[in-house]
Amino acid sequence: MRAAVASGAEVLGWQAGVPGVGAGTGAVVQGLIDSRQGRAEEFVDGVADLVDAHRLLEQVRADPGLQNLLWDGIQAAMSAADSGKRIYLARVVANALTDDTKMDDAQFIVAALRELEGPHVRALVRLIAADDENRKDPGNNDETLQTALSNEPPAVKAVLVRTGLVLVGSQPVSSGLYSIPRAENYSITGVNEFGRRIIRELQETETN
């Protein structure tokens, strides 16, 4: 398993052997390689801690789908600055390795986590709170939620839509009342159960 991790790091290290690259630059590149390889190994070790290492190797060798899932998890872990996210990724992949019915679910979560970093997670937490408050008292124009959305950068909102973590388009908020989408907020009208689950399980990882 470590060989697969190393091959990913080698792709990052092409610059280190290019003539003319200064020693200082080479050291920076090598530092990045070492950091990302360390994260990847931490992730694979985390999976192996939850699944027998021999079983993990046999399953991955025999199942291309599991190979892809593990590789996607490695890629996500390599770019994840937050250790809690890497632990969560390992748990998600390990669950799929022990239960075939969780494969699709794991793929969805890993795909979302690959795009989520600190700014997106913090924005999602704020939007969940605003969405909950808005549903208690939506007023005339969903001002609580829409104001919260207006405070988030467009790039963050775009990622939340792309990863399928938010509701888009008019939604029922109470008896006879429907949310009003706004184009400037990417027509987001709430946080769906998938988005809430991602935040809930990330928070559980940090507290356990």
CB 191 within 8 A of CB 124: yes
Distances (CA, A) of 167 to 51, 115, 148, 156, 183: 35, 18, 15, 15, 13
Same domain, 62 and 162: no
Domain boundary among 69, 92, 115: 115
Same domain, 94 and 17: yes
Report the domain count for the chain: 2
Helix axes 53-62, 23-50, angle to 10 degrees: 100
pLDDT at 130 over 60: yes
Domain boundary among 115, 135, 169: 115
Same domain, 104 and 66: yes
Same domain, 105 and 151: no
What count of residues does the chain have? 208
pLDDT tens for residues 161-206?
Answer: 999 999 999 988 777 788 889 999 999 999 999 999 999 999 999 8
Domain boundary among 74, 97, 115: 115
Whole-prediction pTM: 0.81
Same domain, 12 and 84: yes
pLDDT of residue 7: 47
Range of the domain at 61: 2-115
pLDDT of residue 128: 98
pLDDT of residue 59: 84
CB 144 within 8 A of CB 134: yes
Same domain, 97 and 15: yes
Which helix (H) or strand (E) segment holds residue 172: the answer is strand 172-174
Rounded Cα gap, residues 176 and 12, in angstroms: 55
Same domain, 16 and 109: yes
